[in-house]
Amino acid sequence: MAGSVPPMVHLCERPVSAMSASAQIEIGPVTLRPLVRERVWGSQTLPAWLPAPEKDKPIGEAWLTAGECLIDTATSHGATFTELISRSPAQFSTSSSAPDFPLLIKLLFPHEKLSVQVHPDDALAHTLGQPRGKTECWYVLSADPGASVMVGFAEQMSPAQVREAIAAGKLEQKLRSIPVKAGDMVYIPAGTVHAIGPGMMLLEVQQTSDITYRLFDYGRPRELHIEAGLAATKTSTEAGVVAPVQMAGFTRLIASPYFVIDRFAAATESTPLGKPGELQILIALDEGCFLECSKGTALPLLPGRAVILPSEPVVYNLRSAFGSNIIRIAEK
């Protein structure tokens, strides 16, 4: 990180042991340690703020808000995110029917094409005994020239035609290819057949679900899920690139039925974060970002790490010495 970083101050926080005594005790910002996941389509080259992959073990994903993520905030260091949520569910917008964090945020590093796949919606997921489906979006952090994603069908297709394309190994050719560049936001509602190409880095925000049905996998020796995938497939959805909207003090990247994502360009003077009392997740995209608390504390926001702001009546501001970008994610 350029320049010196002031010491981290934690006056807004309480130890995990104290949290169990009362759901009303203030927790304050929670920094999570990413979990890296090996994937056959992943990369051997990762950003400097992630550990280098082992030889022949490409990393495809870094999970930023998984329940297994360890807490890196000093006063709660070493506990898992799930342990923290179980002690204070009200502050993390969980319910008794789905007692986990509602949004899973990832970084994706595709060096090769991902499978052509689809995810179920809420209604179908419920019939499978799952708490939710999987609507997601991709914010493009970087992209090589010619990078693209495939989202939905290029022309109207019937379920029978989709099945025929899968059997003939031509499903990919039936999809709509979209060139992408840094700063693009791509929306993927559940039921959309989609695939990600190589040569980019994505910030993925999704409903917390790990249900993926692979329909085509380029000959890799992995299981396909044709019948389940066809049951989940919608031949027409609202998937595609979403235009940003300039708001007062930030840029709205997307507002879906499940999440709202904004981009802040923090400056040397404090920038109000807003939404006091609401659950928020912050992801710094650059170095030199700080979160200022109404109680006079300052927390460095490290690139690629999720900082969870529980549902507490605390006012926060953003500050940066370099005009850095910060992503704010909230439940809809």
What's phi and psi for 35, nearest 5 deg?
-110, 120
Which of these is catalytic: 214, 305, 319, 328?
214
Q: How many CA atoms lie within 13 A of 49 on its CB side?
A: 16
SS3 of 103, please? strand
Inter-residue contact 279 to 312 (CB < 8 Å): no
CA distances to 196, 197, 294 from 313, rounded to whole Å, are 39, 42, 10
Q: How far apart are CA 13 and CA 23, in angstroms?
A: 13
* 238 C-beta neighbours (distance < 10 Å), count: 12
Our answer to whether residue 39 is catalytic in this structure is no
Which three-class secondary structure string do you get for 208-229? CCCCCEEEECCCCCCCCCHHHH
Segment (H or E) for 259: strand 259-265
What's phi and psi for 60, nearest 5 deg?
-100, -30
Return the exposure string of 34-60: e unless at least 16 CB atoms fall within 10 Å of the residue's CB, then b: bbbeebebbbeebeeebeebeeeebbb
Beta sheet of 59-63, edge-to-edge order? 35-43, 59-63, 103-108, 200-207, 136-143, 185-188, 240-242
Catalytic positions, please?
214
